[in-house]
Structure 1
Amino acid sequence: MALKHQTLGHVRLRHEDTNEIILIPAPSLNPNDPLRWSTPYKIYIATLVSLAMVMCNFMAAGPTVAMVEIATDFKQVGDTTLTEWIARAAYFFNNSSLLQGVSCIVWVPLVVKYGRRPVYIGSLILYFFMILGAGLAKTYAGELTTRTILGIGAGAGECLAPITMADIFYLHERGYGMAAGVSLGIIISGLITISNPWRSIYWVGAGLVGGLLIVVVFFFPETAFTRTDSPDNAHTLEDISHKDSYWQTLKPWSGKVYTSEPLWRMLVRPFGLILIPPVFWATMVMSVTIGFLVAVASNFATAFETTYSFEPWQSGLCFISGIIGCFLGTFAGGPFSDWVADVFTRRNGGIREPEMRLPAIIPSLIGCPLGLVLYGVGIAKGWHWIVPTLGLGFLSFSITQGTNVSFVYCVDCFRPVTGEVTVTQLAFKCESYPHSTIILHAFKLIMA
């Protein structure tokens, strides 16, 4: 099937005569090509990178469930009020969120140039030791420093996941694995605090991340692959190469450089990409929704304790609604959005336009404001605890589904610069830091 005269985002996804899906990008006969890996192996890789993303958010937001205990631990005798220290403790998590986004400016150029595997290993090592440092810190400055550097290590897992998904899945499959949330970390952290101090959250997190690091070192292959796309045929075959042995895949770095482009150019490119309307819109979707999540995650434990006299573990269990929302959002942002795009592709004679995915975002346009209203008004009016809990569910659904649809839309638009689009969105996601901080200080004044 000829692919001449195609532009970014404009591709023929179905054959004009048979209506069968055309494989884009074109797979090769090289056994090391990730596109040729078996479906079960692809699912394993997708599960592993999704787990890495979950673990990054596990420690980035999970300990917020013990916010009151953390603030009490660091508060000095005769110092300012506990409410003031709760606001100060929130900076532990806001700074992590900030560096999680900003660090992607450095991580993604390294990923694009040197491959996925060395960055996964290096970032997880940094993340592991900073988790230990945060658990051991005895002073406010020490905790703030380790939590801030922790965000740098966590940022790699967050930006690597969508890039890895683009490595192993075809265009028509890409919506399946690009969603994550923080609810699981908050629930587990809450359960840990039932009979253990808040620092135990970090010991559990270190164990989980350490286990993930071992799996990545021994069982995660390099997914970066250089292929030559044919302008004439989506099924062009390349020369067959030998399949790498297991011992060859254990190298932390394959020794290959996947692009000759200088790092400095890849570092500055996101600042130009943000000016492109589709990228700016998708970035704002991610920034605003995640900004509200940061604000809610940083105060919900205090809010539920004040309004409903909940223990930290009880507040954490309220995020079960967030887990449910994430699962539903994953379906609505993945298979459902793929189905919507495929319906419009058939109607368009097999030509896929990125905008064909956008109608799938309508549920999030309703769910996000509804969730915020239920949470905010429910807490303010002292309504039954199920009301703000439902709000958390709607918010988690909208974050997962809305950011997934908008992100995959950008990937469809700018496939050759997927890495740079990813870093642009994740880096400028840190715009959520200032407005979430403003919300937290407003909440502090209300509670005072």
Structure 2
Amino acid sequence: MEINNDEEILRQFEKELDTKIYPGTEIMTDVGSRYFVKSSKRSDRVLVPQPSNDPNDPLNWSPFWKTTAMFLSTAVTFSQAFGPMALAPMFPQLIHDFDTDLAGAVNFTGVCILVLGFSNLFWVPLQTCFGRRPVLILSTLVCLVASIWRGLATSYGSFWGASILNGFGAGPAETAQPQIIADIMFLHERGAYNTLYFTFLFGALVVSPVIAGSMAHNLHWRHFWWLNVGLLGFVLVLLVFFFPETRWHRTRLKDLAVGNKATEKEATTVTANSTDTTSAKPSTEPEIYNEHTDRDPYLRKGKPSWRQFRPYWMVEHPVISLLLDFWIPWKLHLFPIVHLAAFIVSWSASVFLVVNVTQSQLFAAPPYNFNSQTVGFFNLAVLVGIGIGLITNGYLSDWLSMCATKKNRGIREPEMRLPAMIPYVIIMIIGNFVVAFGYEYKWDWKIIVMIGYTAIGIQVAALPAIASTYAVDSYKPIAGSIFVTITVNKNLWAYGLSEFITPWTQRSGFIPVIMLNVVLTTFFCALGIVFYYHGKRLRKITANSKVHQM
């Protein structure tokens, strides 16, 4: 139960539970005489956040509408991320057609990544002010135009400009779906769905080079961008007709508490005026209260209204909201938990980026001499790893959190997710060692690809999902801004890495580059130990921040 919005109720809960409650701490069980809406009859299945009594509330939507919204938001994530990182197998053809060198070709990817990160300083404020629906539609349209431009570009400068526009349009691929997950899914479901999001985000980055390499080898690299045009056009049509607005203004707990007290008073009055004996009153009143508060007549039965398909939903003070949403991602750099998530996501993703931008450099040269199609197919190993990460991580982190919650008397802390990182950190280290030494000493490609690439795929689906879910659980009202901070941090590092990795590896070899990256990744993940024991104290420091009131 979300209980951080009202001071009086908060103090009552702390007294009854004998624990301090800060933003991010959730009550997953009934407390005293207070009964909450649950996912089942068991008292430890309290739904967080509590749904309203409105059938149009996204939390109340039927499985069909929730699945539709999740499918389309996932389709946006996949289709927008499909193009920006697909260039690696095409580098030989791009170098030839645009008369450049390897560093110049890699720069197409680098500038796209850089613009993509900062574009969310534009998209997320719009998402807050006007809704998720218009942002998904407009950004997909921008990506569609960028793909047409890429397919028609005949010079280095033109293709470089199209890469910038593509990066700008693809920003919501990294920020929209986590916000939509927070809109329509309950707390105990978010770990699995955030893993789904990262799986399709990085899955798109893995599948696209496979397809791009094959098309560049058998047809022409331009055909890949016409494939993008078709994919984005299809998703755009589905969004216009089938994606409802998921943003919803939630009633504060204080209002709910007043409503419950009124109902309780009403129930008492009815009992007092009845013809039953006085002795029957105590036994009937709790039953009436319980029945009223732990049942939602529209849960899993609701649907969006026609108004939720309007072009946009504007907030009351759009200018103020825009300014706040532009400022908050910068302010969040002062929040240690958000910083931890940003660095774990950034360096876990950079492990994958190293593989993406170096594969042609290694496998297209002696002793391998593979063509672009074969190099592209090597990414299937990363895809297999991502699938393993999807299957294992979401349920593992949610299960560990639920077990820890039961042990903690129904009180859930966001830090309970962090131990789920341990197996994936070990897998990440193994994968990097195999890739680094395999690259340097020209091991059999099967070892590098089947072990190294698969391990890197597993960790990139798991570690970012765990870290970002931890940050969102701690600061739910600003989930979109959290992902802006994460994306800016991630893409700044990715741009620098893509800009300098080619000359660096040519000068120093692969081991120093990859080992430095794995040491930094391990260091940031190891900080999770500190946050596991002291994260609640850090949440205490930011407990009175205005971000919790947004």
Q: TM-score, normalised by structure 1?
A: 0.91
Work out the CA distance in 2 between the residues paired with 1:419 and 1:412: 12
**Other-structure match for 1:46:** 70
Shift of 1:305: 1.3
CA contact (8 A) 2:144 2:233 kept: yes
Question: Which has the larger share of helix?
Answer: 2
RMSD of aligned Cα (Å): 2.5
Cα drift, residue 177 of structure 1? 2.0
Q: Deviations over 1:120-164 (max 9, x none)?
A: 111111111011111211111111111012101001122101001
- Cα offsets for 1:166-199 (capped at 9, x unmatched): 1110011111222131111122222323411111
After superposition, the Cα gap between the structure-2 partners of 1:188 and 1:349, relative to the gap in structure 1 and judged at 3 Å, is same
Q: CA deviation at 1:51?
A: 2.1
Please state how far the C-alpha of 1:50 moved relative to its aligned partner.
1.6
Q: Write the distance in 2 (CA, Å) between the matches of 1:175 and 1:291.
A: 22
Q: Indicate the SS of the match to 2:218.
A: coil
Tell me how far apart the structure 2 counterparts of residues 202 and 155 of structure 1 sit (CA, whole Å).
18
Q: Is the Cα contact below 8 Å between 2:244 and 2:309 reproduced in 1? A: yes
SS at structure 2 position matched to 1:40: helix
- Report 1:101-116 matches (<5 A): 101-116=117-132
Shift of 1:294: 2.5
Q: 1:175 to 1:107 in 2, by over 3 A?
A: same
Deviations 1:286-340 (A, max 9, x none): 1112223233212212311114111111111111111111111123331111111
SS at match of 1:23: coil
Aligned equivalents of 2:334 and 2:2: distance in 1?
A: 32
AA matched with 2:438: G
The superposition leaves residues 350-370 of structure 1 with CA deviations (integer Å, 9 ceiling, x where unpaired) of: 100000000001122112222
Deviations 1:405-424 (A, max 9, x none): 00000011111221221211
The equivalent of 2:401 in structure 1 is 341
- Among 57, 60, 65, which residue is 1:36 paired with? 60
Aligned to 2:288: none
Which AA in structure 1 matches 2:497? H
Mark the CA change 1:381 to 1:254 in structure 2 (over 3 Å): closer, same or farther.
same
What is aligned with 1:191? Answer: 214
1:200 equivalenced with 2:215 (yes/no): no
Asked if 1 retains the 8 angstrom alpha-carbon contact of 2:427 and 2:455, the reply is yes
1:367-386 to structure 2, matched below 5 A, reads 367-386=427-446
Q: 1:257 to 1:290 in 2, by over 3 A?
A: farther
**One-letter code aligned to 1:31:** P
Q: 1:227 aligns with which of 250, 260, 273?
A: 250
1:434 aligns to 2:496 (yes or no)? yes
**Shift in Å, 1:236:** 9.2
Mapped partners of 1:55, 1:444: distance in 2: 33
In the alignment, which residue of structure 1 is the partner of 2:353? 294
Cα deviations by residue, 1:357-387 (Å, 9 ceiling, x for unpaired): 0000112211222222212221221111112
1:387 matched to 2:447? The reply is yes
Corresponding residue for 2:542? none
Letter of the structure 2 residue corresponding to residue 120 of structure 1: L
Tell me what 2:461 maps to: 400
Where does structure 1 lack aligned partners over 5 or more consecutive residues? 77-84
Equivalent of 1:129 in 145, 154, 158: 145
CA drift of 1:261 comes to 4.0
TM score, norm. by length of structure 2? 0.75
Deviates more, 1:12-21 or 1:104-113: 12-21
* Paired residue type of 1:26: Q
Aligned-pair CA distance for 1:430: 1.9
In the superposition, relative to structure 1, how do residues 373 and 345 fare at CA in structure 2: closer, same or farther (>3 Å)?
A: same
- Give 1:267's aligned amino acid: F
Higher RCO (CA 8 Å, separation ≥ 6 residues)? 1
* Partner of residue 351 from structure 1, selected from 382, 397, 411: 411
User: Hey, what's the Cα distance between the residues in 2 that align with 1:214 and 1:261?
Assistant: 32
1:304 maps to what in 2?
363
- Going from structure 1 to structure 2, the CA distance change for 1:44 and 1:2 (only over 3 Å counts) comes to closer
Give the C-alpha shift of residue 24 in structure 1: 1.1
2:386 alignment counterpart: 326
Partners of 2:390 and 2:89 in 1: CA distance: 24
**Equivalent in 144, 154, 173 of residue 170 of structure 2:** 154
Change (3 A) 1:45 1:99: same
1:355-366 pair list within 5 angstroms: 355-366=415-426
Q: 2:235 aligned with 1:212, yes or no?
A: yes
Instruction: Look up the equivalent residue of 2:502 and give its one-letter code.
Output: L
Q: Distance in 2 between matches of 1:139 and 1:151?
A: 18
The farther-off stretch of 351-360 and 230-239 is 230-239
| Mapped pair 1:313 → 2:373 | yes
1:25–1:229 contact (8 Å) kept in structure 2: no
Change (3 A) 1:417 1:15: same
Helix, strand or coil for the counterpart of 2:191?
A: coil
Aligned residue identity for 1:199: R
Aligned to 1:80: none
1:279 Cα shift? 0.8
Fraction of identical pairs, as percent = 29
**Distance across 1 between alignment mates of 2:338 and 2:481:** 11
Partner of 2:522: none
**Distance of 1:245 and 1:230 partners within structure 2:** 24
Instruction: State the secondary structure of the residue aligned to 1:107.
Output: helix
Partner of 2:266: none
Map Cα deviations across residues 374-405 of structure 1 (whole Å, 9 max, x no partner).
12221221111112212122112111100000
Q: Which amino acid aligns with 1:87?
A: A
**Quick one: distance in 2 between partners of 1:299 and 1:422?**
27
370-379 or 121-130: bigger deviation? 370-379
Moved more, 171-180 or 214-223: 171-180
After superposition, residues 92-103 of structure 1 pair within 5 angstroms as 92-103=108-119
Contact between 1:104 and 1:423, CA under 8 Å: does it hold in 2? yes
Q: Secondary structure at the match of 2:251?
A: coil
Number of residue pairs matched by the alignment: 438
In structure 1, distance between residues paired with 2:431 and 2:228: 29
Alpha-carbon distance in 2 for matches of 1:294, 1:244: 39
The Cα offsets for residues 257-287 of structure 1, whole Å up to 9 and x where unpaired, read as 5878431222111111112111111100111
Query: Does the C-alpha gap of structure 1 residues 2 and 326 become closer, same or farther in structure 2, counting only changes over 3 Å?
Result: closer
Instruction: Read off the aligned partner of 2:77 and give its amino acid letter.
Output: M
Work out whether residues 131 and 314 of structure 2, in 8 Å CA contact, stay in contact via their aligned partners in 1: no
2:126 aligned with 1:65:
no
2:29 match: 14
